[in-house]
Structure 1
């Protein structure tokens, strides 16, 4: 099976990347992520500083080391903006796991009242935001450097075996409570793979899966099918690259070849793919481009693409 959520979000990410290659005029009214002095926090300061603390929430930057040596970034939002009096040890923990080509910042692209982690914190949850290996704040290893191809020798199998258990074990050890899990796209795949093998079940209270597994044949837009087929057909040519960097030159060349297809309008890819979108405006696009897309391993992309199912 191929995962509709994965492919849709991958194509959406590719659409955003195209916006960096082709002309795009963003709104000048963007204000997300500014601190009280009106200054944009530096994105490398961490997700807490750039997207959580600036809105008046408490946030902790943490790290977890997997059994195969990857050092993962993890953010904790222990309480709502207007709380400060409840015992966090009595709150239900919830882990948010992002999809492919993005990191934990993808949950924090909107104003606080529209961001899931902050909504959950305001409703009494102890929120934990996971970031998979290879993304901006999870590019460390006990012995390997990202410049070493060996650092990228993994696919979503390793996310199932190492990343997800490391995060679950850490959150469970810190809270002593069963965990609520929210996964999107690839985050649903690795969860279902784990749960189907009976892993993590003893630590799990509930799971909400956004854009879970489906066949690519369920796509009903011509652009979605063309992009997915082109992606699956061309991605193998990138196999010589260990890191799949969406902003790198090889991927940029692939996108330009995609845009050469007369059936695709790279100046209006979002509308062509999703139809008229009520909630995607220029401010959202600019916010996204400030943070995403993120790297993953080429091996991971090939593994996902090999699961195709077209009629």
Structure 2
């Protein structure tokens, strides 16, 4: 090997090492949450400091907290809004379960406030609203025997386990608690994809759902236009093994330096607040821009709860989905696939098993769940009632959870079908 080759290889190694080190220090850095008193002193919006029950109660929607334990020992927090400020009739049944997207938690449904948060809108329409969380976020960071700070095995999951264990446990809990025969389900992004995984891998669980509403459901991401999302997830895919050697298994934990910095950056002064809005605009520009759809206050609040954390394996799996035209399981490489699956290629999820009546809403301007991937998905689902592109031509992926226009752009269609599949 000549000197030039040695130098090139050395520089390549140092480059990879520097990326690993940077990720180690900026992403995995231990959780060092700033105290609530300090945040209040610095002028953080109160809503960004409150947990789910505190926040909903503040606006006249009392809620309670439930604990769900999965078959494989993960402890998940589930919330139920027990009373709505503007519902004066008996609740409609069956219950409605809301499931969030990647790096989010149950706050995704309330951070935009009572006038546009979907959990509030549904509650005011007298639905029995439940908001779930999956393993790995700040409301799902517990286990009966594994310590997420010490045991790598805790983080050995991706959407497969969420669909096989988390959703069935949550659904069974709600059915048992409410004595209902079925639920209605609304899944945003990853919350839609994990539902499809559940139907594929857990026969019978689709039958426990009366109606599924998919908001920009994440399956394959072959056509994703977002350079930011594509680059980040594929970087995690490439570096999964070396990062694991470094002991790095958790990505963007709530309360870690990355999340705390974003929250602090958005609160300190008028200047940084404007920069924070610009930061979100930059993100939207990389994903797809929709000026004014998400309010300044919502931006400040959501950065108190986002990112909420997930596993390195889950992020790497999203990186893989950028290269595949199939909605498939984790690709371990040909040799390991033979061991895990008995075949060289990972199996596809069986979308024909999603037999529940389904409504899909998606945006023309969505840079993460592209309309071409929706067009690929819909014909494979056997019981689609309607697949509707949101009327607003600038509607993007973030809008599905945080837009101030949810009441007009999403809720009428959601409510239309829920009314058909609900009773007083």
Partner residue, 2:318:
304
Change (3 A) 1:217 1:143: closer
* Partner residue of 1:92 out of 74, 91, 94: 94
Partner of 1:282: 296
Identify the residue that residue 282 of structure 2 maps to in structure 1: 268
* 1:62 maps onto 2:69 in alignment: no
Contact 1:75–1:130 (Cα < 8 Å) also in 2: yes
Q: 1:191 aligns with which of 189, 195, 201?
A: 195
What are the superposed Cα offsets for residues 6-29 of structure 1, whole Å, 9 maximum, x if unpaired? xxxxxxxxxxx99xxxxxxxxx99
Q: Which structure has the higher relative contact order (CA within 8 Å, separation 6+)?
A: 1
Within 1, Cα distance between the matches of 2:93 and 2:161? 30
CA distance in 2, matches of 1:52, 1:251: 22
In the superposition, the TM-score normalised over structure 2's length comes to 0.55
Residue of structure 1 in register with 2:159 after alignment:
156
1:73 aligns with 2:87: no
Please state if 1:206 is matched with 2:207.
no
SS at match of 2:164: helix
| Post-superposition CA distance 1:195-229 (Å, at most 9, x none) | 23434122110001111245534234656655555
For the residues of structure 2 that align with 1:231 and 1:307, how far apart are their CA atoms?
A: 12
Q: TM-score, normalised by structure 1?
A: 0.73
Aligned to 2:309: 295
Q: Say yes or no: does 1:115 pair with 2:117.
A: yes
Deviations, residues 246-277 of structure 1 (Å, cap 9, x unaligned): 5757999xxxxxxxxxxxx9783323431243
Q: Which runs of 5+ in 2 are unaligned?
A: 1-25, 28-41, 261-277, 326-424
2:251 maps to which residue?
244
The 1:235/1:145 distance shift into structure 2, 3 A limit, reads: closer
Cα deviation per residue 1:155-183 (whole Å; 9 max; x = unaligned)?
22111121110000001112213111011
CA RMSD of aligned residues (A): 3.2
Larger Rg: 2
Q: CA 1:302 to 1:272, structure 2 compared with 1: closer, same or farther past 3 Å?
A: closer
Check if 1:131 corresponds to 2:136: no
Structure 1 segments unaligned to the other structure (5+ residues): 1-16, 19-27, 34-39, 253-264
Mapped contact 1:93–1:177 kept (Cα < 8 A): no
1:61 positional shift? 0.9
Q: Is the 8 A contact 2:230 2:319 kept in 1?
A: no
Query: Partner of 1:92: helix, strand, or coil?
Result: strand
Q: Distance in 2 between matches of 1:141 and 1:206?
A: 31
Whether 1:169 and 2:172 are equivalent positions in the alignment is: yes
Please tell me whether the aligned partners of residues 79 and 125 of structure 1 are also in contact (alpha carbons under 8 angstroms). no
Shift of 1:32: 6.5
Number of aligned residue pairs: give it: 262
1:85 Cα shift? 5.8
Determine whether 1:48 maps to 2:16: no
1:82 equivalent to 2:96? Answer no
> In the superposition, relative to structure 1, how do residues 59 and 298 fare at CA in structure 2: closer, same or farther (>3 Å)?
same
